[in-house]
Amino acid sequence: MKNVIKTYLLIGALSALLLMIGGAIGGQNGVIIALVFSLIFNIGAFWFSDKIVLKMYKAVPVDRAHQSGLYEMVERLARKAGVPMPKVYIIKNPSPNAFATGRNYKNAAVAATTGLLSALSLDEVEAVMAHEMTHVKNRDTLVSTMAAVIASAIMHLTFLARFAMIFGGGRSGGGSNNNNAGGLLNMILLIVLAPIAAVLIQSAISRSREYMADKGSKELIGTGTPLANALRKIDNAVQRGHGIQASPETAHMFIMNPISGKSLLSLFSTHPTTEDRIQKLMYE
């Protein structure tokens, strides 16, 4: 419940930031522009993000006839989680990883790499897929997509604000020079700080949902040990440079950021540290 409340507060903060930028650029008209930006981005992401990401990673659908047994595993987990059966995909890639996508239960899908199926034990694979099933149950893909597109709209608006400042900043209105200088300074601060704030909020939302999915996996499986072991193995592969070649726009969807490396500041990371996740799985 704590993470749920935190997520909604952060979404609210992200939306407020978007409207603030719109208002700063063009007053009431700017707010309307910001709302239109947000609406366009959200509609596009809502309808097409699942299809785009599955095609991007060349995910292949599988059924219960597939020798991996992944379909049957997901089917059991769906029953335990009390959600409709999602579509199941396999990505031919030696790096161990997995993700969930889909705007609702009808369009939900979970995908695992061939590397995940070969590098992890059966109970570890089950724990990873339980994590992804929790994302489906909590509609995390929709929440994360909303956060991502609002943040993207903020980036685009600040880009427009830079042009407005360059081509319109030299005009002087009826105000004093001090007022003009103050307004220019505020605009510069907004252009610089707003994108940083958007990324920080978006990352915080993503980390919160990852904690919830880890907890959901532990509840479905009955123990956090298999997922903790799986996270160690996936993290080890990523740190050795064997992560899947993911785009930055979709990296947050995976159970572990495949391009996180070793030195990303924790505040900007879409995932909690592996050590922190394992600590919570084993001792909370």
* Catalytic residue IDs: 132
- 186 CB-near residues (< 8 Å, 6+ apart): 24
Which 3 state secondary structure label does DSSP give 260? coil
Alpha carbon of residue 201 to chain centroid: 11
Distance set, CA 118 to CA 48, 181, 216 (Å): 31, 62, 24
Q: What are phi and psi of 86, to 5 degrees?
A: -80, 165
Residue 273 exposed, middle or buried by CB count within 10 Å (0-12, 13-18, 19+): middle
Q: Indicate the DSSP class of residue 85.
A: P
Q: Could you tell me the two tokens for 246?
A: 């993911």
